[in-house]
Amino acid sequence: MKRGLVIRPFEAGDAEDVRWLIEEAFGGPGEARLADALRENGDDVLELVAIHERQLYGHILFSRLRVETRNRSADAVALAPVAVRAESRRTGVGSTLIENAHHMLREAGEELSVVLGDPAYYGRFGYSHTRAAKFESDYQGEALQALAFSPEAPSMGELIYAPAFSAL
């Protein structure tokens, strides 16, 4: 599948296909609504699609996350959702989306990405719970993982997600 796979930014015309893909991947409308709301509210930082022979095979979205301490509010990004068409999983589409996105985020000067998910999967891309263990969050636990793109990235403080997450 990696051969001929094109990773490009989300375009308005992708919205319906993306909604369908995410609903199918998660077995319900919650995450698709989340992606729509993040985009509508302008909280999306990076949104990419994976296309093969004009068909949508994967999608990833990073939204603005703030890390607040008493003296400082730092920008970070939250990875959610990421989805790949069921029949094409484990062929590298998810990895290609994540690795391309990380490269672009680093180039754009982002310092920190946070994800809530399976450590067996996200550990491959450098995410770790150790890096996220000192953050205050309702989602605190082994599934909360972080990846620093810069040595200056915050390592403690309260994680403030975009408002759309509270509807999930």
Ligand X SMILES: CC(C)(COP(=O)(O)OP(=O)(O)OC[C@H]1O[C@@H](n2cnc3c(N)ncnc32)[C@H](O)[C@@H]1OP(=O)(O)O)[C@@H](O)C(=O)NCCC(=O)NCCS
Q: Helix, strand, or coil here: 59? A: strand
Q: Is the dihedral of CA 105, 108, 109, 110 positive or negative?
A: negative
Task: Provide the pairing of β-strand 6-9 with 44-52.
Answer: antiparallel
- The residue from 23, 117, 125, 137 that contacts ligand X (CB under 6 A) is 117
Question: Is 155 one of the binding residues for ligand X (CB under 6 A)?
Answer: no
Q: Which amino acid is at 122?
A: Y
CB 10 → ligand X: shortest distance, Å? 16
CB 61 → ligand X: shortest distance, Å? 11
Question: Is 118 one of the binding residues for ligand X (CB under 6 A)?
Answer: yes
Q: Check if the beta carbon of residue 73 is closer than 8 Å to that of residue 116.
A: no
The C-alpha atoms of residue 30 and residue 37 are separated, in whole angstroms, by 10
Question: Is 32 one of the binding residues for ligand X (CB under 6 A)?
Answer: no
- The piece of 70-78, 113-121, 132-140, 158-166 that touches ligand X (CB under 6 A) is 113-121
Structure tokens at 107: 């180039």
| Rg of the chain (C-alpha set) | 15
Q: Check if the beta carbon of residue 34 is closer than 8 Å to that of residue 53.
A: no
Q: Name residue 79's beta-bridge partners.
A: 62, 115
Question: Is 90 one of the binding residues for ligand X (CB under 6 A)?
Answer: yes
Tell me, by CB under 6 A, how many residues bind ligand X: 17
Residue 95 or 128 having the CB closest to ligand X: 95
CB 41 → ligand X: shortest distance, Å? 21
- The residue from 67, 77, 83, 162 that contacts ligand X (CB under 6 A) is 83
Residues 91-110 that bind ligand X (CB under 6 A): 91-95
Which residues are at the interface with ligand X (CB under 6 A)? 25-26, 82-84, 89-95, 117-118, 120-121, 124
